[in-house]
């Protein structure tokens, strides 16, 4: 009797044959949810990138047959003076555009206060982000206009002579960058406002109990918690600086004398107006590599800091 009760054969249940879905549910379910986005990413991002790189090895006017010429487009590009003008202008954009995260953080800290009318003030600061870059370009073209622009009205009011920033080859790039900073600061401000809402109040309270306040409180307690917002703000700002195109096209068309051109506009000019798709694709490939190198460097630096 005891042998029958303790026998493993008598206690075991009949094996249930699970379906293929049950056996692989944890693997298949995420793959099914991710597949539409992955397909769209491959179709609209990866495929155009690979196509651009392939076209950059050809001489092609966009209509006729492609002629394979190897690295000739790149050799011509690196001996083209206009390419270096555009590259230097992109570097200026890159450096000065990084003022946007700083400006956005300062405004976000100001707007994070509880005071009457703050909703209206936030809406006013948010406004540049929702308007089109075309509108921004037109507004600043009027602002800089030497005949009726508000800039010269202000300068004349304080006794300074009139200037024409968009007609001066030494000032034009900086004038366009200022126009670009207006909506970019608003975007960074929104990121930091979101980040400030997620700051841990217990850490702030503990720091106050230890006597920490003012700038040390901001630097040691608040700013480290804003690291995710800072990462997104810097990456988006760098990408925006390197692909700057619309404001240049609207405000100056790359002039005067190509002094305000950037790589994005140079690529557009060669591909659309000069019918040189291969040369334009070579410019796009170089621009893509510059973006990748900078973002990869920034990402690795940030991950190392988080690991420490």
Asked whether residue 255 carries a pLDDT value surpassing 70, the answer given is yes
Asked whether residue 8 carries a pLDDT value surpassing 90, the answer given is no
CATH of 79-307, one of 3.30.1220.10, 1.10.3720.10, 3.60.20.10, 3.40.50.300: 1.10.3720.10
Residue-level pLDDT at 34: 93
Q: Following DSSP, what letter does each residue of 128-180 receive, concatenated?
A: HHHS-HHHHHHHHHHHH-TTT-HHHHHHHHTTPPP--GGG-TTTHHHHHHHHH
For residues 66-83, give the mean pLDDT: 93
Kindly report, residue by residue over 26-45, the tens digit of the pLDDT: 888 888 999 999 999 999 99
Q: In this structure, are residues 241 and 97 in contact, taking their beta carbons and an 8 Å threshold?
A: yes
pLDDT band for position 25 (50/70/90)? confident
Asked whether residue 188 carries a pLDDT value surpassing 50, the answer given is yes
- 12 Cα distance to chain centroid: 61
Backbone phi and psi for residue 151, each to the nearest 5 degrees, phi listed first: -60, -45
Number of neighbours of residue 259 by Cβ within 10 angstroms:
16
Residue-level pLDDT at 53: 94
Residue 47 CB-density burial (10 A; 0-12 exposed, 13-18 middle, 19+ buried): exposed
Q: For residue 60, give the nearest of 281, 276, 282 by alpha carbon.
A: 276
Q: How many residues does the chain have?
A: 308
Q: In this structure, are residues 161 and 155 in contact, taking their beta carbons and an 8 Å threshold?
A: yes
- Mean pLDDT for the chain overall: 86
Residue-level pLDDT at 15: 60
Of the given ranges (10-19, 21-30, 94-103, 220-229), which has the lowest mean pLDDT?
10-19
Q: For residue 284, give the nearest of 293, 301, 273, 271 by alpha carbon.
A: 271
Residue-level pLDDT at 57: 95
Residue-level pLDDT at 88: 94
- 260 Cα distance to chain centroid: 21
What is the spatial distance between Cα 234 and Cα 259, in angstroms, rounded to a whole number? Answer: 26
Residue 138 CB-density burial (10 A; 0-12 exposed, 13-18 middle, 19+ buried): middle
Kindly report, residue by residue over 106-160, the tens digit of the pLDDT: 999 888 887 777 778 878 888 888 888 899 999 999 999 988 889 999 999 998 8
Of the given ranges (85-89, 165-169, 300-304), which has the lowest mean pLDDT?
300-304
182-to-98, 101, 132 alpha-carbon distances in Å: 12, 12, 12
């Amino acid at each position: 009797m005891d042998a029958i009760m303790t026998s493993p054969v008598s206690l075991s249940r009949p094996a249930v044959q699970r379906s293929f879905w049950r056996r692989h549910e944890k693997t298949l379910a995420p793959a099914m949810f991710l597949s539409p986005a992955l397909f769209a990413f491959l179709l609209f991002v990866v495929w155009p990138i690979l196509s651009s790189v392939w076209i950059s090895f050809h001489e092609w006017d966009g209509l006729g047959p492609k002629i394979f010429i190897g690295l000739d487009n790149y050799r011509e590009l690196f001996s083209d003076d206009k390419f270096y003008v555009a590259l230097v202008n992109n570097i200026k954009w890159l450096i000065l555009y990084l003022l946007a995260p700083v400006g956005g953080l300062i405004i976000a800290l100001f707007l994070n206060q509880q005071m009457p009318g703050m909703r209206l003030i936030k809406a006013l600061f948010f406004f540049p982000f929702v308007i089109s870059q075309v509108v921004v370009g037109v507004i600043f073209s009027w602002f800089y206009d030497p005949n009726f622009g508000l800039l010269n009205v202000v300068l004349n009011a304080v006794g300074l002579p009139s200037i024409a920033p968009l007609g001066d080859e030494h000032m034009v790039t900086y004038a366009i960058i200022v126009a670009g900073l207006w909506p970019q600061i608003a975007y960074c401000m929104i990121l930091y406002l979101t980040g400030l809402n997620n700051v841990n109040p217990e850490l702030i309270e503990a720091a106050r109990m230890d006597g920490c306040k003012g700038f040390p409180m901001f630097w040691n307690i608040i700013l480290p918690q804003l690291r995710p917002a800072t990462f997104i703000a810097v990456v988006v700002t760098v990408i925006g600086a390197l692909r700057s195109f619309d404001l240049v096209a609207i405000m100056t068309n790359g002039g005067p004398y190509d002094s305000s051109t950037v790589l994005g506009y140079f690529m557009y000019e060669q591909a659309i107006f000069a019918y040189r798709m291969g040369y334009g694709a070579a410019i796009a490939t170089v621009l893509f590599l510059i973006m990748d190198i900078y973002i990869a460097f920034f990402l690795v630096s940030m991950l190392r800091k988080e690991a420490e």
